Amino acid sequence: MRSGSFDQAASDYDAARGFPPGIAETVVGAALEWLGSARCVLEIGVGTGRIARPLLDRRVAVVGVDLSRAMMDQLLLQLPPGAWRPPLIQGDALCLPLASGAFDAVVTVHVLHLLSDWPAALSEARRVLRPGSALLSGYDWRPPHSPGARLLARWRELLAAAGLVGSGGGGRDFPDIQAALLASGAQVEERTVGEWTVARTLARQIETIEHRTWALGAEAPVEVYRRCLAELRSWAAATFGGLDRSYSVAHRFVWQCYRWLTAEHGG
Ligand SMILES: C[S@@+](CC[C@H](N)C(=O)[O-])C[C@H]1O[C@@H](n2cnc3c(N)ncnc32)[C@H](O)[C@@H]1O
């Protein structure tokens, strides 16, 4: 099994993409309103535990699955001394090494859109769910026209020009996934929770791309990646008049809770 492009991102992931103080508790508090008494929860693409750690703090028995052992090692490093260590399984969302119907809920955040075969991942998520239980899918919302969003859009264009889009970016987005879930008979409830602002410079944003904390193109060969990065830097300097200007980006967290009324599998 390939370990996944996020191995390279593991040490910078939380600094680049972690929640500011207090937000994780708000995000997880909202999830718990849906999870109710669910206590055996699978997180697919658990990563460094941005969601799993606050769930563990609330005594939810989280089992994590992720392709990247390095990401999950960061999760373990951040557990308080003496804390219960959750089972963390290196595995693929497309073929979960877990029994059918074993979980009270499945949680997945910023993962499905990375997978080119996300329908297979949805089907697997549904297979391991106990009938009638919930699939929670979440993502961080950012405004589409911020300098950082424009930078990522340009990054996608450069990767496309190099023939690399799809090598880790998936190319699908959340609306496609939602449409597939609804078509499979799921009912959805959506909530936006938590609002925070991240202050950035373009230089720092480019550094997070350099550290491959964004999946888009993260599996590209080193030389091509470097060449695209150099082009991105030149474009950003010319477009924004330099890389050191600071800007603020509003963030929100969006949860979607899916449930099926029938027990039939096939998400
Ligand atoms: C953007 S990170 C999100 C991590 C975490 N859920 C969060 O919100 O911070 C994506 C995670 O999904 C994992 N991942 C990517 N493809 C996967 C797959 N096919 N199966 C399992 N995990 C995968 C990556 O290794 C990474 O840890």
pLDDT digits (tens, 9 = 90+) for 107-148: 999 999 888 899 999 999 999 999 989 999 999 998 888 888
E strand or H helix that includes residue 253: strand 246-260
Q: Look up the domain containing 98 and give its range.
A: 5-142+171-197+250-260
Answer yes or no: is 218 within a domain. Answer: no
Q: Could you identify the residue written with the tokens 């999760």? A: 75
Take residue 106 and report the two structure tokens written for it. 């499945």
Distance 46 CA to ligand 1 centre (A): 6
**In the structure, what pLDDT confidence band is assigned to residue 163 with cuts at 50, 70 and 90?**
confident
Helices 147-161, 222-240: crossing angle, 10 deg rounding: 140
Closest ligand 1 atom to 214 CA: 1
Question: CA-CA distance, 265 to 30, in Å (whole number)?
Answer: 27
**Which amino acid would we find at residue 136?**
L
Ligand 1 within 6 A of CB of 158: no
Ligand 1 within 6 A of CB of 45: yes
Answer yes or no: is 232 within a domain. Answer: no
Answer yes or no: is 203 within a domain. Answer: no
Closest CA to 87 of 110, 103, 109, 111: 103
pLDDT score for 235: 96
- Average pLDDT, rounded, for the chain: 89
Mean pLDDT of 5-33: 92
We report the CATH number of the domain holding residue 20 as: 3.40.50.150
Answer yes or no: is 202 within a domain. Answer: no
The number of folded domains in the chain is: 1
pLDDT score for 46: 98
Answer yes or no: is 150 within a domain. Answer: no
Mutate to test the pocket of ligand 1, among 46, 66, 211 (most ligand atoms within 8 A of CB): 66
Answer yes or no: is 124 within a domain. Answer: yes
Answer yes or no: is 151 within a domain. Answer: no
